[in-house]
Amino acid sequence: MASGLVNVMKIVERNEREAARERSGDEAAPTEGGPLGDSPLGPEYRAISSSAVSCLALGVLSVLALLSWWMLLLPATAIVLGLFGLRQIRRRGDELTGAPLAKIGLALALAFGVCGAGRLSYIYATEVPEGYTRINYAPLQPEAANSVEIPESAKALDGQKVFIKGFILQGTQLNGIRTFLLVPDEGSCCFGGDPKLTDRIQVSLADPAGIDYVQGLQKVAGVFRIRPMPQAVDAKGGVLYHVDEAFLR
């Protein structure tokens, strides 16, 4: 990510220098009916720094950092561009302006970045119910590729209260769902994919009313069981893993 931001800054700086050279050439050329260098923009014209404008735009978009860890890249990028823009404006004050834009963008990026990181950290620290263990799909995968052998790491979870995140595999039933497959990514659940055996967790909800189908990442807590079955719900083939007595967070 750092190398990418450096490349962006180099491109921005190069573009600003080329634009400045073009303006200098235009101002040096004689104009019809006027003296040499009589620019329609005036002798004191300065361009607005593209880095400052980008910083402001990304600063506004940094509000999305409240929603996802990945979105923290927005305020991070805005801060880099803002600092770079202010540096360029100080060095080339006769050519560039836009320091207020960069400062506003920096303020927004810092505010939303700090608030976003704090909010997401709080959610992460409190989302697991008391007495449950946070897990992911990694312990459920066999050591050998293309194997369906249940690994020891999965066997160690059998009977444990677990908390796991995943996506609901869409089936024919959209309302009052009590049993569904939880898969690790949207490619398996939402775009016609057929999740591999060790990426399937069959969830049985404790609430008899069930849930309605929803897209997006879901948080599930329940008792992890290893119970091989020849037929999974809403998918071809069987299922190895289950989460019983489950509820959504």
118 and 195 fall within a common domain: no
- Write out pLDDT tens, residues 74-98: 999 999 999 999 999 999 988 899 9
Which residues constitute the domain of residue 213? 133-248
Confidence band, pLDDT 50/70/90 cuts, at residue 148: confident
95 and 14 fall within a common domain: yes
Domain end among 107, 126, 145? 126
240 and 142 fall within a common domain: yes
| DSSP assignment string, 78-115 | HHHHHHHHHHHHHHTTTTEE-HHHHHHHHHHHHHHHHH
Q: Which residues of 144-158 are buried (b: 16+ CB within 10 A; e: fewer)?
A: eeeeeebbeebeebe
Contact 122, 74 (CB under 8 A): no
pLDDT for res 22: 59
Does pTM surpass 0.75? no
> Is 52 a residue whose pLDDT tops 70?
yes
Total number of domains constituting the chain? 2
Query: Token match 């996506």: residue?
Result: 167
